[in-house]
Amino acid sequence: MFRGDESVNGAQAFPLGGDDGFVDFYELLQISPNAETETINRIYRMLAARYHPDNPETGDMDLFLLLERAHEILSDPQLRAEYDALRKARLEEPLSVFSLKEFAKGIDGEANRRMGVLCLLYNRRRMNHEQPGVSVLELENLMSFPREHLMFALWYLKEKGYIQQDEHSNYAISANGVDYVEANLPKNKILYKLLKAAEFGTARTAAVRDWAAEEEQQAAR
């Protein structure tokens, strides 16, 4: 049976529980959730060599242990199935970043919601290029906004050519949308940290908490 508190070489490589306890191994390895075992093994070997503690330039013990744990889980069919079920449940939870005041009413909130939609679609395209589409219902669940509060953003982004709809009416980011995100994301500190955290499979709520802590420190200066 898969247990989240199991260790790798005595280190707690996959902690569970609490807001920041979950690590998305697919994001960590930067692979699709549908990746075959051969792909998982190949990507793991490349990243493990890069972050091995013996590598004087890019070695990172903590990241290396996480990679080992990710490979252990995802290369075992039973453990992967249990992990996938847990991951699916967590990914269906609303993202706490969208509860911040920056996404509330007003023109600024509307602009941030548009960037939020683009970021979600950007991540989906990057992680699952074979199935990049996201439904309106999924956007509602992830952002905790009713569709009535999202339709203006979706209309605008589609008119600008930043997103497109597939045959199932799901939304996916376009090449123009990718360019727009990468050009403008550094200006939006909240979402920038959210996407940067995803690069290493860290918790989404942890990224928001870290940003809030930095804001408090800057305000206290």
The answer on 85 and 168 residing in a single domain is no
Cβ-count burial of 56 within 10 angstroms (0-12 exposed, 13-18 middle, 19+ buried)? Answer: exposed
Band of the pLDDT at 6, cuts 50, 70, 90? very low
C-alpha–C-alpha distance, residues 100 and 208, integer Å: 9
Asked which of 91, 107, 134 is the last residue of a domain, the reply is 91
Q: What is the pLDDT of residue 210?
A: 52
The answer on 120 and 87 residing in a single domain is no
Give a yes or no: residue 112 inside a domain: yes
Model confidence at 16: pLDDT above 50: no
The answer on 80 and 118 residing in a single domain is no
| Amino acid present at 21 | G
Give a yes or no: residue 208 inside a domain: yes
Between 58 and 191, the higher pLDDT residue: 58
In this prediction, residues 81-104 reach a mean pLDDT of 83
Q: Tokens 């548009």 label which residue? A: 114
In this prediction, residues 48-59 reach a mean pLDDT of 94
pLDDT tens digits, residue range 174-213? 999 999 999 987 777 777 766 765 554 554 445 444 544 5
Give a yes or no: residue 168 inside a domain: yes
Contact between 19 and 208 under an 8 Å Cβ cutoff? The reply is no
Model confidence at 3: pLDDT above 50: no
Share of the chain above pLDDT 70, in %: 77
Q: What is the pLDDT of residue 196?
A: 62
- Per the structure, how many domains does the chain have? 2
The answer on 35 and 79 residing in a single domain is yes
Contact between 53 and 59 under an 8 Å Cβ cutoff? The reply is yes
**What is the residue range of 155's domain?**
96-220
Q: What is the pLDDT of residue 197?
A: 53
Cβ-count burial of 105 within 10 angstroms (0-12 exposed, 13-18 middle, 19+ buried)? Answer: exposed
Give a yes or no: residue 172 inside a domain: yes
| Amino acid present at 35 | A
Asked which of 91, 115, 146 is the last residue of a domain, the reply is 91
The answer on 210 and 108 residing in a single domain is yes
The answer on 38 and 117 residing in a single domain is no
The answer on 80 and 185 residing in a single domain is no
pLDDT tens digits, residue range 134-157? 999 999 988 889 989 899 999 999
Share of the chain above pLDDT 90, in %: 42
In this prediction, residues 69-80 reach a mean pLDDT of 95
